[in-house]
Amino acid sequence: MKKILFILAMAISLSGNAYAKHDCDCEKYCSKMEHKMMKKQGGFIDTSMKPMSVAEVQKLPDDAYVTLSGYITKRLSDDKYNFSDGTNNLIVKIDDKVWMGQTVTPKDKILITGKVDKEFTHLKLDVKSLQLDN
């Protein structure tokens, strides 16, 4: 019985070392993927879309694409924020990928483009692009 336990203990200790270090370059691959994900991605910006007011957006149908100019005044949850155009407020949903590394404070005027999401009791804007408004 002692021989079996000794052989089993040796097999476990030797196999642990074999898996501890391997040569598959997965660390390089992960860091390349993380770097690729952090890169800013470009896209088309329709300059013919003039910014609307929040009041105008509230009258539009579901799934309408709009552009708004204003300020993010408060974070409501993980990806929901309170947006103000100076007269009215609107809840906007901004996914992590939309930020593209930008930092925005309540003092920064931004230009957002997104899709109106009307539900029975409330309205929100699903933001597709965000940029600082100069």
SS (H, E, C) 38-56: HCCCCCCCCCCCCCECHHH
Tell me the one-letter amino acid at 102: Q
22 φ, ψ (degrees, to nearest 5)? -135, 170
The reply to whether CATH 2.20.25.240 applies to domain 54-132 is: no
d(CA 72, CA 70): 7
What's residue 113's pLDDT? 94
Looking from the CA of 128 toward its CB, the CA atoms found within 13 Å total 15
- 57-89 burial by CB neighbour count: b if 16+ within 10 A, else e? beeeeeeeebbbebbbeeeeeeeebebbbeeee
39 φ, ψ (degrees, to nearest 5)? -65, 145
| Segment-wise mean pLDDT, segments of 10 residues, the chain, 134 residues | 75 61 53 50 62 92 94 94 94 93 93 92 93 84
The set of residues, in sequence order, having a beta carbon less than 8 Å from that of 17 and lying 6+ positions away, is: none
What's this model's pTM, rounded to 2 decimal places? 0.64
Domain locations in the chain as residue ranges: 54-132
